[in-house]
Structures are given as C-alpha cells and as structure tokens.
Chains A and B, each alone.
Chain A
Amino acid sequence: DAKTTQPPSMDCAEGRAANLPCNHSTISGNEYVYWYRQIHSQGPQYIIHGLKNNETNEMASLIITEDRKSSTLILPHATLRDTAVYYCIVRVPPFGNEKLTFGTGTRLTIIP
C-alpha cells in the first residue's frame, strides 16, 4: 500500500476553513484515500473517503488532485470540537489483505 505524509501539526482559527494536506505520491490506481480523526484518546472516527473524484459529506470535503498524488481534507467552518489528530491513509480492496497502519497524523488545534 502507498505510504502517506502529513505535517505534524497545524493551527486554525475558529470559524475558518481548516485545510489538511496529505501526500500519497506512490498511490496506485485502485487505492482509496481515507481520512480519520482521533479526539483525545478515543477510538479514531471515520470522516470521509474517495478514489478519484472530490467528495463531500456533512463533516468535511475531500479534494484529490488529478494525478491522485495528494489530497486535502477541508473542514469548512472549524469549531473547537474539531481539535484532534487527523490521519490520512490509503487502502486497496479487498480491505484486510494489507497491513494497514496509521502514521502519526496531523495534530490540528482550533484556536478561539
């Protein structure tokens, strides 16, 4: 599976859009990009995923570049509750036939 690279930390002002980048330059054509977040010591929570097209749900938007080598998670109006560690991972179906690991992610701090 492709490896991902994320900045270790970011700050964002409350109410502004938080843009979290992820580099996955070795991604293959059938690998999906998934984003998770972990608040305090809770179990990671799924946010969004995509293959080629940009995706949006009630939590966030995912922008994947045309060459699929990088993506950006966008939290449109960040709140204090969005302070968390955000993980970007890639997975290829059938899921489970891989040693899926999470890196250290990006620690996002929302500033009042």
Chain B
Amino acid sequence: NAGVTQTPKFQVLKTGQSMTLQCAQDMNHEYMSWYRQDPGMGLRLIHYSVGAGITDQGEVPNGYNVSRSTTEDFPLRLLSAAPSQTSVYFCASSYSWVTGGRTGELFFGEGSRLTVL
C-alpha cells in the first residue's frame, strides 16, 4: 500500500493562475478531505467527501473546488490563485466506520507546499 499520495510536493504559482493538487489513496477509504495549514496554525478543513460523487464544504472553502469521481482520487482545484492561498496543503483519508478491526484513523499525505506570488 502506498497510503495517501499527494502531488506535487512543491509548486509556485503566479496570482490568477489555476492548478490542481492531486490526492490518491489505495486503502479503499470512504472519507477523504483537504486541509490547509498556515504558519503557526492548526489544520483547517477546506473540503471533504464521504464517498464517490459526494462532496461538502469545510470551514475555508472559498477559492477551491473539489470533485470525487472515484473512491481513490480527490483532487483540489485552485480556480484563480491568490497570495492568501500560500500554504501547506494536506490530504487525508479514513474508513467511515470503526468495525472489523478498523481504527477510523485519518491517514495523511506528506503535504503539498504552495507559494502564490
């Protein structure tokens, strides 16, 4: 198992550009989510999904779009990058139920560091 894979690890954008951060998991997890972490702050939820075809907004969704066409993939799209979106982005996934020996723990990717100039 590769776990949760995020690409790219680093990206520099100019204001107004668009891009997609990729997230893939191979654990057949129902739940996937995107967080951003700014210096000295905790993780803030951007968007999340409880299954293919289902997405919902977190606490800081503005400026971001997501889709969940498959169980494995949950890309995060920046529509028109702004300097305020400079951050480290983490994708996470988990099972939805604590049954059958599952712990319900969130598995995180290694992060994608985005700089918007």
Among A93, A95, A100: residue with most chain B CB under 10 A:
A95
Binds A, one of B13-21, B75-83, B92-100: B92-100
Nearest A residue to B35, CB-CB: A102
Q: Give the docked Cα–Cα distance between A102 and B44 (Å).
A: 7
Does more than half of chain B's interface fall in helix, strand or loop, or is it mixed? strand
- Inside 8 A of A44's CB, which chain B residues have their CB? 43, 90, 92, 106, 108
- Inside 8 A of A100's CB, which chain B residues have their CB? 33, 45, 48, 106
- CB proximity of B38 to chain A, nearest CB, Å: 11
Q: Which residues between 20 and 46 of chain A lie within 8 Å of chain B, taking CB atoms?
A: 32, 34, 36, 41-46
- Inside 8 A of B94's CB, which chain A residues have their CB? 95-96
Report yes or no: B58 in contact with A101, Cβ–Cβ below 8 A. Answer: yes
Could you give 30 example pairs across A and B, Cβ below 8 Å? A32-B98, A34-B105, A34-B106, A41-B37, A43-B4, A43-B109, A44-B43, A44-B106, A46-B103, A46-B105, A49-B103, A49-B105, A93-B96, A94-B50, A95-B31, A95-B94, A95-B98, A96-B31, A96-B50, A96-B51, A96-B94, A99-B56, A100-B33, A101-B42, A101-B43, A101-B58, A102-B35, A103-B42, A104-B42, A105-B42
